[in-house]
Structure 1
């Protein structure tokens, strides 16, 4: 399958890219700095550019079958409000619809959208606003991103991840639509 990955140089993006190539997919990635990509492989096309520029995104999406959007703000970000992910997602979704590319998988966070209702009171009222302000900023941006995807005509999946940790795979993960039984973290290999 021909897949485009946005966010392939980030923490989870590198792992997703590695797994996609391991599975034999033809992968195209858009990156700001091609020197950050350590993988060189015949099934990998690296294009340098800005995800906020519609013409650039359109050129990357040309002849693709699916898109994985795992953009981030670089770890915890700088703690300042941002719309980078939602702005980039708007460009990606618009260009996918123009090119009739239907399949989108997008990473979000536990706590975004209606999943905030499944979080413990102590987390939502104390931890998040006072001790994890950096995460609240990211969730605010994901709260703007998710409706862009949901209101599109794409065949989409939004994956709301808990804390992603760089540890060996456990070989299992828990997925839920009602928030029950969620773990606090998932390993990077289990996510990919």
Structure 2
């Protein structure tokens, strides 16, 4: 039986997906630790409810503080509006996974992009570099080195600023079921899938198909 998740560490906590993950985890009574580089980006109403670590996901000592003692990890790292070449997300994920292996943490969900379901030549050019680093992240996640971890790769389409669908969204393994997903649904799934073995070692596409 999969371990019940009571404590979770979140990387990328101040982005729209990360904040929705925090909100859902708190609703479930999960203790949240967030590694935050820029404390000013953490909403004042959320900060007192979680354990905040000021640090960087590329620094081993900071990552260790956020991983050690957790039941699971959620990764929603992004580049904000920077679309140029980067390896920050993939470098960070490798460091996080190595630290999980060292500390015995087994569960992780990682937010990537539904572009990974497409042929790279079909990805809009302006997203090519970000998609390339997402591909590096997926390759790292699927490496035999980490096969002992219960990982879930979450590949959402456009993340919509829409109300929750109240569990009406659809999840596919290996393909995308639609073109949009409300950010609240994505945050919910990133948390819930950690406790759902049917999603472990899967590339999960999700969407609320009735959105236009």
Shift of 1:137: 1.7
Question: Is 2:161 the counterpart of 1:166?
Answer: yes
* 8 Å CA contact 1:78, 1:134 repeated in 2: no
Normalised by the size of structure 1, how large is the TM-score? 0.86
1:45 aligned partner: 51
CA distance in 2, matches of 1:142, 1:98: 24
1:141 aligned partner: 133
Q: Which segments of structure 1 move beyond 3 Å, counting only runs of 4 or more? A: none
> Which 5+ residue runs of structure 1 have no aligned equivalent?
118-123
Of 115, 118, 121 in structure 2, the residue corresponding to residue 116 of structure 1 is 118
SS of the residue corresponding to residue 157 of structure 1 reads: strand
Shift of 1:170: 2.2
1:11 aligned partner: 16
Normalised by the size of structure 2, how large is the TM-score? 0.78
Comparing 132-141 with 101-110, greater Cα deviation is found at 132-141
1:28 aligned partner: 33
* 8 Å CA contact 2:114, 2:157 repeated in 1: yes
Question: Is 2:178 the counterpart of 1:183?
Answer: yes
Deviations 1:15-71 (A, max 9, x none): 1111111111010000112222111344x1000011101111112212111000011
CA distance in 2, matches of 1:17, 1:162: 20
Deviations 1:80-102 (A, max 9, x none): 11111101101100101110100
2:203 aligned partner: none
* 8 Å CA contact 1:6, 1:31 repeated in 2: yes
Question: Is 2:80 the counterpart of 1:79?
Answer: no
2:65 aligned partner: 59
